[in-house]
């Protein structure tokens, strides 16, 4: 009987023990942060991402990739080599693992996610690399600045980027292994100096956003700098994000949202603009007009009918500012000299009324481009009467604006100028701190 009581007590004790569930692993970071550099040494201002692409001599080597919101996949200046020859990679070149022409991704790239350009010759499987595969995967790439076509080889890349807690950079690194293409150096004509790749940030499944893992996948924030002296930032993750000096204010709290619109012939980003308001006067945009976001076009381009209405209205509300002879490609310019001294212009805001009713405000810093010491111009360009896309919002209007591309909910968040919030896109803190 005594033994039976002991067994009962042990049984009750065992079954009444409270087991603590194993806690889920929590990432030591909440986002990724990649520096964005502005370049003015090409025919037009351009912007690049600074990506860590290889590890040599106890440190990471970085490569600058031109930011392209339309590109179907990533490509850069590198060499595809077989598995046996990677260790003989030239010192001044990136080398990558080839993808076989028999791989399913090769067919996918060629048939679904290829660049569409009539100047590109059809690709074949004749390019051979001895060793690993019976053949490599040639594909076409198109220079987004010149429109010229080049032959490239599909490869598997290896990128490393920095992690963040939304305030500054942390010590853990994040690895990305995307499909990309190796193109010859001649493919990068007209690129800024030290920019030797194209970083696809589009909606394509082979662009960078799709190659990330949860929970970072799905939300991308773009903040282009207006200065050469400090970088802007590309961020992945749901935030929050804090920019100096307002270290307790989440910049996402500044955002308004509008739906992103799919375009059947593009992997880029499109929104609906219903009207443009200048000093309380509305310029209606024809129904079914398309508005595209571009990191290649430097200034907002308007179809001729819309452009003429904007110029006419803006001329009227700025009639007290002395005019200047227009400087190409702009059609409306102003004299910024008073008694021989340069003065800063202050002009009325321009409001893009977007689908959903929210307004993207284009303030003076994003509407007026200083050309010389005495001439400044309205930074909008005539896109021609037959343009298929009615409005293309260019990078001058992006600068110091925080843009959030939410692929999950298919929305665009926009802040309007951060300068009015006493911060800028160059105020993200890239100082490194230990995550522990």
Output the DSSP codes for 67-136.
Answer: EESS-SSEEEEEEE--TTTGGG--TTSEEEEE-BTTSHHHHHHHHTS----TTSPPP-S----SSS-S-B
Do 149 and 274 lie in a common domain?
no
β-bridge partners, 321: none
C-alpha span between 122 and 116 (Å, rounded): 11
Give me the pLDDT at residue 135, please: 79
Q: Are 176 and 210 in contact, with CB atoms under 8 Å apart?
A: no
Give me the pLDDT at residue 343, please: 66
Give me the pLDDT at residue 9, please: 40
What CATH code is carried by the domain that includes residue 38?
Answer: 2.40.70.10
C-alpha span between 284 and 286 (Å, rounded): 6
pLDDT in tens, 274-303: 999 999 999 999 988 999 999 999 999 999
Answer whether residue 245 is part of any domain.
Answer: no
Do 218 and 261 lie in a common domain?
no
Answer whether residue 14 is part of any domain.
Answer: no
Query: What domain count does the chain have?
Result: 2
Query: For residue 40, how many C-alpha atoms fall within 13 Å in the half-sphere facing its CB?
Result: 6
Do 392 and 281 lie in a common domain?
yes
**Where are the strands (E) in 232-343, listed by range?**
232-236, 256-259, 269-271, 273-278, 281-284, 291-293, 300-302, 323-324, 333-335, 337-338, 341-342
Given a cut of 60, whether residue 115 has pLDDT beyond it is: yes
C-alpha span between 244 and 223 (Å, rounded): 14
Instruction: Name the residue range of residue 320's domain.
Output: 251-427
Q: Which of 237, 264, 292 is the last residue of a domain?
A: 237
C-alpha span between 305 and 397 (Å, rounded): 20
pLDDT in tens, 37-76: 999 999 999 999 999 987 666 677 889 999 999 999 999 9
Average pLDDT of the chain? 88
Given a cut of 50, whether residue 2 has pLDDT beyond it is: no
Q: What are phi and psi of 109, to 5 degrees?
A: -60, -45
399 contacts: CB under 8 Å, gap ≥ 6: 224, 225, 226, 365, 366, 425
Answer whether residue 8 is part of any domain.
Answer: no
C-alpha span between 393 and 406 (Å, rounded): 18
pLDDT in tens, 128-176: 444 445 678 899 999 999 999 999 999 999 899 999 999 999 988 999 9
Q: Percent of the chain beyond pLDDT 70?
A: 86
Q: Which of 379, 394, 392, 383 is nearest to 303 (CA)?
A: 383
Answer whether residue 312 is part of any domain.
Answer: yes
pLDDT average, residue stretch 238-260 = 94
Q: What is the model's pTM?
A: 0.89
Matching residue, tokens 């600058």 = 64
Q: Which of 214, 237, 260 is the last residue of a domain?
A: 237
Burial degree of 73 (CB within 10 A; 0-12, 13-18, 19+):
buried
β-bridge partners, 403: 222, 414
Do 256 and 131 lie in a common domain?
no
DSSP string of 119-160, one letter each residue: TSPPP-S----SSS-S-B-EEEEE-TTT--EEEEEEEE--EE
Do 288 and 379 lie in a common domain?
yes
Matching residue, tokens 């102003």 = 334
Do 217 and 255 lie in a common domain?
no
Do 296 and 188 lie in a common domain?
no
Helices (H), 248-376: 304-317, 364-367
Name the least confident of 87-101, 212-226, 258-272, 306-320: 87-101
Do 270 and 179 lie in a common domain?
no
Residue 217: Cβ within 10 Å count: 15
pLDDT in tens, 185-221: 999 999 999 999 999 999 999 999 999 988 888 999 9
C-alpha span between 223 and 388 (Å, rounded): 27
Do 339 and 198 lie in a common domain?
no
Q: Which of 237, 259, 281 is the last residue of a domain?
A: 237
Q: Are 332 and 378 in contact, with CB atoms under 8 Å apart?
A: yes
C-alpha span between 221 and 237 (Å, rounded): 8
Do 160 and 193 lie in a common domain?
yes
Do 229 and 258 lie in a common domain?
no
């Amino acid at each position: 009987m005594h033994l039976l009581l002991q067994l009962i007590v042990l049984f009750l004790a065992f079954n009444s023990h409270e087991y603590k569930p194993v806690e889920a692993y929590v990432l030591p970071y909440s986002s990724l942060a990649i520096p964005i550099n502005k370049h003015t040494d090409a025919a037009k201002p351009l912007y690049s991402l600074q990506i860590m692409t290889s590890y040599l001599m106890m440190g990471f080597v970085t490569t600058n990739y031109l930011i392209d919101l339309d590109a179907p996949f990533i490509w850069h200046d590198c060499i595809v080599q077989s598995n046996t020859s990677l260790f003989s990679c030239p010192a001044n070149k990136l080398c990558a693992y080839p993808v076989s022409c028999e791989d399913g991704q090769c067919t996918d790239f060629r048939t679904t996610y290829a660049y569409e350009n009539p100047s590109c010759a059809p690709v074949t499987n004749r390019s051979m690399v001895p060793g690993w595969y019976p053949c490599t995967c040639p594909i076409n790439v198109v220079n987004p600045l010149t429109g010229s076509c080049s032959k490239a080889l599909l490869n598997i890349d290896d990128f490393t980027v920095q992690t963040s807690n939304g305030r500054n950079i942390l010590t853990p690194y994040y690895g990305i292994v995307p499909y990309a293409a190796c193109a010859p150096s001649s493919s990068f004509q007209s690129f800024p100096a030290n920019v030797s790749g194209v970083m696809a940030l589009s909606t394509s499944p082979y662009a960078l956003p799709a190659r990330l893992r949860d929970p970072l996948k799905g939300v991308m924030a773009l903040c282009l700098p207006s200065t050469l002296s400090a970088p802007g930032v590309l961020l992945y993750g749901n935030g929050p994000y804090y920019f100096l000096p307002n270290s307790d204010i989440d910049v996402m709290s500044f955002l308004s949202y509008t739906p992103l619109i799919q375009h059947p012939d593009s992997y880029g980003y499109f929104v609906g603009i219903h009207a443009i308001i200048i000093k309380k006067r509305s310029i209606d945009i024809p129904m079914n007009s398309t508005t595209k976001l571009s990191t290649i076009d430097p200034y907002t381009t308007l179809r001729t009918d819309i452009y003429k209405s904007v110029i006419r209205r803006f001329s009227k509300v700025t009639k007290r500012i002395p005019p200047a002879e227009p400087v190409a490609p702009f059609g409306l310019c102003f004299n910024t000299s008073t008694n021989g001294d340069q003065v800063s212009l202050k002009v009325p805001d321009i409001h893009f009324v977007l689908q959903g009713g929210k307004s993207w405000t284009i303030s003076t810093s994003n509407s007026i481009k200083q050309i010389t010491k005495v001439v400044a111009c309205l930074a909008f360009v005539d896109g021609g009467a037959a343009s298929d896309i009615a409005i293309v919002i260019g990078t001058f209007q992006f600068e110091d604006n925080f843009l959030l591309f939410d692929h999950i909910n298919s929305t665009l968040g926009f802040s309007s100028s951060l300068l009015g919030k006493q911060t800028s896109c160059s105020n993200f803190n890239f100082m490194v701190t230990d995550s522990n």
